[in-house]
C-alpha cells in the first residue's frame, strides 16, 4: 500500500427513520474543528426534515414504548457495546470538535459509553422507583406506573458534543420515548457517528432521529409541532429559549429547561428520567 494513501472522507448525513438521507433542502454547511480547520460538510436540516423526523419518531413510538423494559435495556446496552468498539474514532472526533487533548477526549468518550450502560440499566427499574401501589382509603387496588410521554424533541448541548448528547438522549429513550435530536450546530460530527452506532445496534429505526443544522432554524418547528409531546431545551440558544417555551405552550408540551451548569462527567440524578414520563394511576375494586 502506498505510504501516501488518500483517506476516504465520509459524507455526514441526517438520521431519520433508520435511514441516512441528505437534507431534503439540499443544503449543507461547513463544519470546522476548534481551531477553524475544515472537517466536513454537514447536512443543514430544514423544517421538512424536522417534520419527517417527527413522523418517524411517532411511527416508532408504539413499538418502542410497548417493548418490555428488559428488551429496551438490552438494546441500549448493545449501543454501549458498539460504542465501546469505536472509542478511538469518537475520541478523535471529540478532540477535533471540542478542541480538547486526545486524553481528555478519551475520558469523555469513556464517560459517554458508561452513561449508556447506566441508563440501559435503568429501563427496568424506573417503574419500581417512580411507581407505587397506592394505599387508598377504600376497597380498591390502586397502582401508579410511569409511562413514556411520547415524542421528545431534544436540543442537544452545544458544547459537549458526545457526552452531553448521550446524557440527554439516553434517558429519553430508556423510558420508552422516541426522540428527534437536534445535534450541536457547530460540533455535529460525533452525533452523526453516534447515529451510525444506533443504526447498527438493534435500536429500531425512528426511535432516535438526528438532525444536524442550525438549532435556531429547526427548533421553532419542533417546539410548535402538534405531534411533539415534550421539549428538552438544553441546547437552545439563550435568546431563543423563552420563545420556544411560548411555542411549546400551544399544545401543553412538557419542557425541560437547561440547568445553570451541568457537569456531564458526574453521575446524573433521576431528573432527566422523570422529565419525560407520565404517571398513570389505575384503580380496580377489591371484592368477592
Partner 1 sequence: MWEYAPAPESRDIANLKPNYRMFVDGEFVEGGGEPLKSVNPGTGEVLAEVSTAAPADVDRAVKAARRAYDRVWGRMPGAERAKYIFRIARLIQERGRELAVLESLDNGKPIKESRDVDVPTAAAHFFYHAGWADKLGYAGYGPDPRPLGVAGQVIPWNFPLLMAAWKIAPALACGNTVVLKPAETTPLTALVLAEIIQQAELPPGVVNILPGAGDVGAAVVAHPDVDKVAFTGSTEVGKLIQRQLAGTGKKLTLELGGKAANIVFDDAPLDQAVEGIVNGIFFNQGHVCCAGSRLLVQESVAEELLDKLRTRVSTLRVGDPLDKNTDVGAINSAEQLARIQELTASGEAEGAQRWTSSCPLPDKGFYFAPTVFSNVSQAMRIAREEIFGPVLSVLTFRTPDEAVAKANNTPYGLSAGVWTEKGSRILWAAQKMRAGVVWANTFNRFDPTAPFGGYQESGFGREGGRTGLEAYLDV
**Positions in the binding site for partner 1 (CB under 8 A):** 129-130, 132, 134-138, 140, 142, 144, 149, 229, 241-246, 248-252, 254, 257, 269-271, 274, 278-285
Beta bridge partners of 143: 133, 282
The CB density around residue 67, as the number of other CB atoms within 10 Å, is 17
Nearer to partner 1, 181 or 223 (CB): 223
Are 37 and 30 contacting, i.e. CB atoms less than 8 angstroms apart?
Answer: no
The residues, ordered by sequence, that sit 6+ positions from 6 with a Cβ below 8 Å of its Cβ are none
Angle between helices 189-199 and 87-98 (to 10 degrees): 160
Nearer to partner 1, 48 or 257 (CB): 257
Nearer to partner 1, 144 or 159 (CB): 144
| Shortest distance (Å) from residue 64 CB to partner 1 | 14
| Shortest distance (Å) from residue 154 CB to partner 1 | 17
HSE value, Cβ hemisphere, 13 Å, CA-based, for 185:
13
| Shortest distance (Å) from residue 17 CB to partner 1 | 22
Nearer to partner 1, 12 or 276 (CB): 276
Nearer to partner 1, 48 or 246 (CB): 246
Give the residue among 217, 216, 197 at the shortest CA–CA distance from 207: 197
Beta bridge partners of 255: 231
Are 79 and 120 contacting, i.e. CB atoms less than 8 angstroms apart?
Answer: yes
Cell of 116: 449508556
| Shortest distance (Å) from residue 237 CB to partner 1 | 13
| Shortest distance (Å) from residue 147 CB to partner 1 | 8
| Shortest distance (Å) from residue 68 CB to partner 1 | 12
Nearer to partner 1, 85 or 121 (CB): 121
Cell of 79: 449501543
HSE value, Cβ hemisphere, 13 Å, CA-based, for 56:
26
Are 179 and 207 contacting, i.e. CB atoms less than 8 angstroms apart?
Answer: yes
Amino acid at each position: 500500500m502506498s505510504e501516501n494513501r488518500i483517506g476516504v472522507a465520509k459524507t455526514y448525513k441526517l438520521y431519520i427513520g433508520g435511514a441516512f438521507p441528505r437534507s431534503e433542502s439540499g443544503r449543507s454547511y461547513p463544519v470546522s474543528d476548534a481551531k477553524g480547520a475544515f472537517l466536513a460538510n454537514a447536512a443543514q436540516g430544514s423544517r421538512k426534515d424536522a417534520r419527517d423526523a417527527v413522523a418517524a419518531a411517532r411511527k416508532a413510538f408504539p413499538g418502542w414504548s410497548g417493548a418490555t423494559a428488559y428488551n429496551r435495556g438490552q438494546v441500549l446496552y448493545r449501543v454501549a457495546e458498539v460504542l465501546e468498539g469505536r472509542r478511538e474514532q469518537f475520541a478523535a472526533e471529540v478532540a477535533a470538535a471540542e478542541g480538547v487533548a486526545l486524553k481528555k477526549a478519551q475520558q469523555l468518550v469513556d464517560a459517554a459509553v458508561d452513561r449508556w450502560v447506566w441508563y440501559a440499566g435503568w429501563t427496568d427499574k424506573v417503574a419500581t422507583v417512580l411507581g407505587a401501589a397506592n394505599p387508598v382509603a377504600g376497597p380498591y387496588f390502586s397502582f401508579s406506573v410511569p409511562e413514556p410521554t411520547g415524542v421528545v424533541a431534544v436540543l442537544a448541548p452545544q458544547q459537549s458534543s458526545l457526552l452531553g448528547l448521550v446524557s440527554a438522549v439516553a434517558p429519553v429513550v430508556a423510558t420508552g420515548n422516541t426522540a428527534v435530536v437536534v445535534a450541536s450546530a457547530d460540533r455535529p460530527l460525533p452525533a452523526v457517528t453516534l447515529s451510525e452506532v444506533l443504526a447498527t445496534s438493534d435500536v429500531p429505526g425512528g426511535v432516535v432521529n438526528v438532525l444536524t443544522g442550525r438549532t435556531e432554524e429547526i427548533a421553532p418547528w419542533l417546539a410548535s409541532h402538534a405531534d411533539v409531546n415534550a421539549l428538552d431545551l438544553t441546547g437552545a440558544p439563550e435568546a431563543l429559549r423563552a420563545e420556544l417555551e411560548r411555542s411549546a405552550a400551544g399544545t401543553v408540551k412538557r419542557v425541560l429547561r437547561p440547568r445553570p451548569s451541568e457537569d456531564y462527567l458526574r453521575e446524573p440524578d433521576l431528573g432527566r428520567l422523570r422529565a419525560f414520563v407520565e404517571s398513570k394511576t389505575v384503580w380496580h375494586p377489591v371484592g368477592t
